[in-house]
């Protein structure tokens, strides 16, 4: 969809974080934007921004799990702006982490309801409307790096984000000749309010006993290292407006997959190698081993991303060498010290591989 000016976008979770970043970019590029969210305070705050900065934006308070209300919201959007051309299924929750045996059905139902059910409701309500007006359009769904690779303690989140990956791939092939593009967005760590919003949006009947906000912090590291503050993490997280720009580019180019953080690439490759190997000449154990290596690498990457090493790399060779050594000794001391299979260091947004995965010996 190259010409987006004057077209209408319906963005769920549009009042905060990634959804708000997408809304800002769409609005400043001449789109009409309906921001949809279940938190009225977030909608009010977002609208104050648009009043000050301009943009044709209309807010709707909607819980995406409510099918009847979804239809009414789509009717309202059409009444205000005419046809809907772009659907952004972005509303999501991140509740229910931890060992799977400790999860509750309430954890599962809450996340499946929003992250999968909300996307189903969006597609079922709005796709027929886009098809009906015949002017073309685009459907995009926010998945996660967890929608491409499994990770321990993230069973619920990964399940939901894998599900929407599959759904969007199916839609892309169904709609390819009908002038409707389809994308899946895979954000890496991005500034937003997922923890807080997942807590406040959780309906009473799906709450676990004793849940509180903010959550209890884990104990500090045993080796005496100081605990990092959340502000440390913020400096390495992507600005959602940058994510929004990538989304707009993806829509214009009709990219099926839209990524934000290249340092996860080798992990994706490891997983998909494992899949392919398991189908042919490599045994199942090799595939599992590869996945486990990936898991270590992923932890290493996250650790790296959340550490400040990532901000300064790569001005000169000697500086790079020094930082790489620093990173290595950091890892030796850290709880993820085993993640020596592969290290990635970031030079601002361009992440550099500094150590390669060992190749598996596959018996043919
Ligand atoms: N921030 C990250 O690092 C990150 C990484 C990968 C994927 N994601 C995904 O990106 C999306 C946006 O996350 P974010 O980080 O911007 O969080 P956020 O909390 O800043 O924004 C999400 C918005 O969705 C709204 N929402 C939640 N449930 C809703 C419902 N049932 N109906 C309507 N609105 C609802 C919330 O009120 C919130 O305003 C989510 O799908 C999340 O899983 C985020």
Task: Spell out the alpha helix ranges (H) of the chain.
Answer: 17-28, 40-53, 67-81, 105-111, 118-133, 155-175, 194-201, 230-234, 240-253, 265-279, 284-305, 317-333
CA of 296 to the centre of ligand 1 (A): 27
Closest CA relative to residue 23, chosen from 258, 245, 319, 272? 245
Q: Of 260, 285, 304, which one is at a domain's C-terminal end? A: 260
Atom number, ligand 1, closest to the C-alpha of residue 37? 34
| Contact 13 CB / ligand 1 (< 6 Å) | yes
**Same domain, yes or no: 222 and 148:** yes
Look at residue 359 and tell me if it is in a domain.
Answer: no
| Contact 148 CB / ligand 1 (< 6 Å) | no
**Same domain, yes or no: 181 and 298:** no
Per-residue pLDDT, 333 = 35
Look at residue 304 and tell me if it is in a domain.
Answer: yes
| Contact 112 CB / ligand 1 (< 6 Å) | no
Q: What is the pairing mode between strands 257-259 and 180-186? A: parallel
Atom number, ligand 1, closest to the C-alpha of residue 113? 31
Domain range for 329: 269-350
Q: What is the pairing mode between strands 180-186 and 137-142? A: parallel
Look at residue 94 and tell me if it is in a domain.
Answer: yes
Look at residue 133 and tell me if it is in a domain.
Answer: yes
**Same domain, yes or no: 95 and 68:** yes
Look at residue 296 and tell me if it is in a domain.
Answer: yes
**Same domain, yes or no: 156 and 291:** no
Per-residue pLDDT, 288 = 61
Per-residue pLDDT, 328 = 46
CA of 253 to the centre of ligand 1 (A): 25
Indicate the pTM of the whole model: 0.81
Q: Which token pair is 257?
A: 């997959």
Backbone angles phi, psi at 205, to 5 degrees: -70, -10
Determine which residue's CA is closest to atom 30 belonging to ligand 1.
63
For residue 83, give the CATH number of its domain.
3.40.50.720
**Same domain, yes or no: 149 and 21:** yes
**Same domain, yes or no: 166 and 57:** yes
**Same domain, yes or no: 147 and 214:** yes
Q: Is 146 helix (H, G, I), strand (E, B) or coil?
A: helix
| Contact 181 CB / ligand 1 (< 6 Å) | no
Per-residue pLDDT, 296 = 65
Look at residue 1 and tell me if it is in a domain.
Answer: no
- Buried/exposed code over 325-341 (b: 16+ C-beta within 10 A; e: otherwise): eebeebbeebebeebeb
Look at residue 109 and tell me if it is in a domain.
Answer: yes
Atom number, ligand 1, closest to the C-alpha of residue 19? 16
| Contact 119 CB / ligand 1 (< 6 Å) | no
Look at residue 357 and tell me if it is in a domain.
Answer: no
Count of domains observed in the chain: 2
Determine which residue's CA is closest to atom 42 belonging to ligand 1.
92
| Contact 260 CB / ligand 1 (< 6 Å) | no
Per-residue pLDDT, 26 = 98
**Same domain, yes or no: 291 and 218:** no
Q: Mean pLDDT by 10-residue block, N- to C-terminus, for the chain (364 residues)? A: 96 98 98 98 98 98 98 98 98 90 96 98 98 98 92 91 96 94 94 93 94 74 68 74 95 94 79 69 55 63 52 39 46 32 30 38 38
Instruction: Answer for the pair 244, 171: CB distance below 8 angstroms, yes or no.
Output: no
Q: Does residue 154 have a cis peptide bond before it, meaning omega lies within 30 degrees of 0?
A: no
**Same domain, yes or no: 160 and 18:** yes
Task: Indicate the DSSP class of residue 311.
Answer: G
**Same domain, yes or no: 71 and 132:** yes
Instruction: Answer for the pair 91, 19: CB distance below 8 angstroms, yes or no.
Output: yes
**Same domain, yes or no: 169 and 220:** yes
**Same domain, yes or no: 55 and 204:** yes
Q: Which token pair is 221?
A: 């590291």
Q: Of 208, 238, 260, which one is at a domain's C-terminal end? A: 260
Q: Of 213, 237, 260, which one is at a domain's C-terminal end? A: 260
Atom number, ligand 1, closest to the C-alpha of residue 18? 16
């Amino acid at each position: 969809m190259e010409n987006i000016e004057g077209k209408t976008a319906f963005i769920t979770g549009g009042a905060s974080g990634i959804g708000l970043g997408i809304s800002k970019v769409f609005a400043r590029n001449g789109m009409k934007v309906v921001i949809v969210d279940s938190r009225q305070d977030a909608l009010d705050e977002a609208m104050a921004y648009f009043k000050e900065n301009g943009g044709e934006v209309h807010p709707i308070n909607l819980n995406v799990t409510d099918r009847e209300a979804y239809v009414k919201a789509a009717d309202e959007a059409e009444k205000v702006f005419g046809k809907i051309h772009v659907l952004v299924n972005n509303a999501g929750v991140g509740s229910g982490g931890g060992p799977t045996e400790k999860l509750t059905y309430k954890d599962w139902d809450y996340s499946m309801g929003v992250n999968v059910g909300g996307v189903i409701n969006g597609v079922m309500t709005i796709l027929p409307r886009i098809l009906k007006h015949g002017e073309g359009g685009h459907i995009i769904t926010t998945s996660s790096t967890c929608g491409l690779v499994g990770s321990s303690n993230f069973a619920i989140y990964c399940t939901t984000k894998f599900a929407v990956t599959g759904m969007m791939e199916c839609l892309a092939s169904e709609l390819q000749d009908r002038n409707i593009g389809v994308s899946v967005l895979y954000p890496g760590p991005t500034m937003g309010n997922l923890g807080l919003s997942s807590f406040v949006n959780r309906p009473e009947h799906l709450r676990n006993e004793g849940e509180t906000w903010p959550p209890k912090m884990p104990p500090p590291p045993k080796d005496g290292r100081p605990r990092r503050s959340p502000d440390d993490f913020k400096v390495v997280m992507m600005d959602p407006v940058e994510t929004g720009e990538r989304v707009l580019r993806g829509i214009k180019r009709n990219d099926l997959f839209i990524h934000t953080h290249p340092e996860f690439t080798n992990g994706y490759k490891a997983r998909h190698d494992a899949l392919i190997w398991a189908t042919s000449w490599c045994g199942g154990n090799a595939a599992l081993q590869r996945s486990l290596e990936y898991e270590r690498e992923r932890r290493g990457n996250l650790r790296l991303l959340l550490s400040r090493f990532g901000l300064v790399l790569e001005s000169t060779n000697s500086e790079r060498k020094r930082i790489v050594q620093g990173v290595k000794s950091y890892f030796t001391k850290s709880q993820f010290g085993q993640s020596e299979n592969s290290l990635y260091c970031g030079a601002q947004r361009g992440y550099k591989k500094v150590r390669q995965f060992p190749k598996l010996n596959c018996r043919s």
